[in-house]
């Protein structure tokens, strides 16, 4: 009797261990490092892409269409120069809702990073609310099912040749899915006004420098006009003298 009970206990233990091993074998990470939860959702993986490539998240497709950086930027209240070692970076993305319902979204869904970033601070972007431009992403918006938008995000970050646009999947029940990183290589634009033209006491705002440049250009144009008028007047006086003397010039 005891032997039969022992056999049954051993059989139950073996079945439990076998089912555990099968579950463990079926939950091996894939090529992106993603694991599967009990309900089938993936998590823990890192999916990488480049500019122009489309990253397929659980909720939407994401493509970085273009990027450009510059040391100066035109804000609503004037032209600003970035701090030393910093750049203004514009990234234009296309987001297409592939989920089975409308998506509540935020500009903070997308953050910036770079390979040698020692800071743990999140680099968030600026959109339409701060810049007042319709082509920039709204801070909070709803992406309807099947809808596709193309919007720009402005970042202020250390000056680098490459950046990473980052996104992480978050579900309504706070389950964290996979992470995504898209390599961004921005086009470098020439600054509209160089830092040498900015007075030391006004290094962040270049409106004064811009006005000085405009005044200089206007002064030069006035001087050139006056020189032309003086030249015409002198030529007229020489012509009158020649008529009085009766001398003809060849």
CATH number at residue 122: 2.60.40.1240
pTM: 0.68
Distance CA 44, CA 31 (A): 12
Distance CA 72, CA 82 (A): 6
Residue 248 lies in a domain: no
The parent domain of residue 47 ranges over 40-202
User: Out of 26-30, 66-70, 129-133, which region has the weakest mean confidence (pLDDT)?
Assistant: 26-30
Partners of residue 167 on adjacent β-strands: 180
Across the range 133-159, mean pLDDT stands at: 97
Between residues 210 and 46, the one the model is more confident about: 46
pLDDT band at 22 (very low <50, low <70, confident <90, very high): very low
Total domains, the chain: 1
The β-bridge relationship of strands 176-184 and 140-143 is unpaired
Residue 180 lies in a domain: yes
Cα angle value 124/67/191 (rounded, 5°): 95
User: Out of 9-13, 70-74, 160-164, 196-200, which region has the weakest mean confidence (pLDDT)?
Assistant: 196-200
Across the range 220-230, mean pLDDT stands at: 55
Residue among 89, 54, 82 nearest 163 (CA): 89
Distance CA 244, CA 125 (A): 78
Predicted local confidence at residue 76, as pLDDT: 87
């Amino acid at each position: 009797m005891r032997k039969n009970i022992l056999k049954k206990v051993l059989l139950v233990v073996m079945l439990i261990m076998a089912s555990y091993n099968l579950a463990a074998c079926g939950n091996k990470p894939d090529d992106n490092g993603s694991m599967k939860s009990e309900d089938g959702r993936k998590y823990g993986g890192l999916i990488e892409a480049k500019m122009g490539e489309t990253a397929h998240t659980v909720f939407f497709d994401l493509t970085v269409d273009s990027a450009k950086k510059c040391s100066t930027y035109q804000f609503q209240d004037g032209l600003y120069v970035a701090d030393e070692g910093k750049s203004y970076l514009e990234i234009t993305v296309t987001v297409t809702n592939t989920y089975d319902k409308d998506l509540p979204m935020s500009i903070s869904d997308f953050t910036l990073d770079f390979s040698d970033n020692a800071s743990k601070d999140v680099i968030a972007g600026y959109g339409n609310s701060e810049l007042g431009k319709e082509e920039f992403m709204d801070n909070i918006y709803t992406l309807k099912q099947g809808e596709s938008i193309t919007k720009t995000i402005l970042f202020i970050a250390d000056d680098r040749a490459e950046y990473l646009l980052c996104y992480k999947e978050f579900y309504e029940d706070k389950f964290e899915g996979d992470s995504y990183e898209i390599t961004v290589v921005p086009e470098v634009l020439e600054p509209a006004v160089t830092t040498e033209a900015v007075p030391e006491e006004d290094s962040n705002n270049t409106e004064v420098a811009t006005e000085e440049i405009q005044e200089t250009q206007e002064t030069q144009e006035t001087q050139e006009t006056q020189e032309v008028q003086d030249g015409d007047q002198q030529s007229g006086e020489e012509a009158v003298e020649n008529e009085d003397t009766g001398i003809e010039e060849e």
